[in-house]
Amino acid sequence: MLTSCSSAAVPDDKPDAKPVIQQPDPVAPAGLPLPDPPDVQAPSPRTTTEKPLRYELNPKTFRIQNPDEPNEKVLLLTFDDGPAGEATMELLDILDRHKVKSIWFINGHQVAKKKQDGTYAVIPEKAALLREIHKRGHLVGNHTWWHENLRKLPAEKQREEIVSTSQLIADVLGEKPKYFRPPFGAGTPVSETICREQGMVSMNWSVGSLDWEPAVYKKPNGITRQVISTVHSGGNILFHDRVWTATELDAILTQLEKDGYQFVLPTEAK
């Protein structure tokens, strides 16, 4: 705020000029605000017509986009098969450094041991990792219990794979997942029905890092080259909770940022 500075009045050149006496600023009683000067009103609050940003998943292409700015260079990062433990914290730290949030599609067997009667015992250290993922602002999705191909399972087994994993996530985090990813991208009419019943959105991906292919991850910078060469605006990038992925993730994010991409989550998930 700019303030006016008072100075002593300069006498007039006329010999009979009277000195001008500077009046002190008004002082309000202690604890009370000064009244507005006469004929001066406080400015009205600013209004804005800007629309809040929103990002939606295309249910057919699994791309993410701002429907008001469809050409905006945005990406969604996803990590499957965690929390494996060996590289989970390193991946989280890299994401933090880049201020990136993502979706982690977890397997039930990574967090708990299932008994023959269908009940399970939570693995404390793995549950702690799952809570850490959630605490850092990432979303936790359902990737089934055993990571089996649902198209090779009977309907009742598919239901068990999905429902028990959602329940486990709810037991550890206090909330059920909003997103589901079928193993190998192999969804079924049964899995789609269960997702609707459970209030989940089923999604695959549109950019594969191929960090599961030895021919890619065993080559120097192989994952980086794969992602940078196939990425596109709105890309839904599939990574895994793997040591070799953690080794290259920082370089990948740095290059994508240089190329003008920003990383977002679906708005409805927030």
What's the token pair of residue 244?
């070799």
- Residue 53's pLDDT band (boundaries 50, 70, 90)? confident
Tens-place pLDDT, residues 127-157:
999 999 999 999 999 999 999 999 999 999 9
Q: CA dihedral defined by 166, 171, 176, 180, rounded to 10 degrees?
A: -30
CA distances from 221 to 3, 205, 249, 252 (A): 59, 21, 10, 9
Partner residues linked to 140 by β-bridges: 104
Domain containing residue 111: 56-269
CA 33 to chain centre: 44
Residues contacting residue 12 through CB under 8 Å, at least 6 positions apart: none
Highest mean pLDDT out of 49-58, 66-75, 170-179: 170-179
Q: To which residue do tokens 């794969």 refer?
A: 226
Q: How many CB atoms lie within 10 A of CB 103?
A: 23
The CATH code of the domain that includes 138 is: 3.20.20.370
In a domain, 250, yes or no: yes
Q: How many CB atoms lie within 10 A of CB 270?
A: 10
How much of the chain, in percent, has pLDDT values that exceed 70?
80
Burial label for 111, CB within 10 Å (0-12, 13-18, 19+), is: buried
Between CA 239 and CA 132 the distance in angstroms is: 18
Between CA 150 and CA 44 the distance in angstroms is: 60
How would you classify the pairing of strands 179-180 and 201-202? parallel
In a domain, 88, yes or no: yes
Between CA 207 and CA 187 the distance in angstroms is: 18
In a domain, 14, yes or no: no
Tens-place pLDDT, residues 219-257:
999 999 999 999 999 999 999 999 999 999 999 999 999
| Overall domain count for the chain | 1
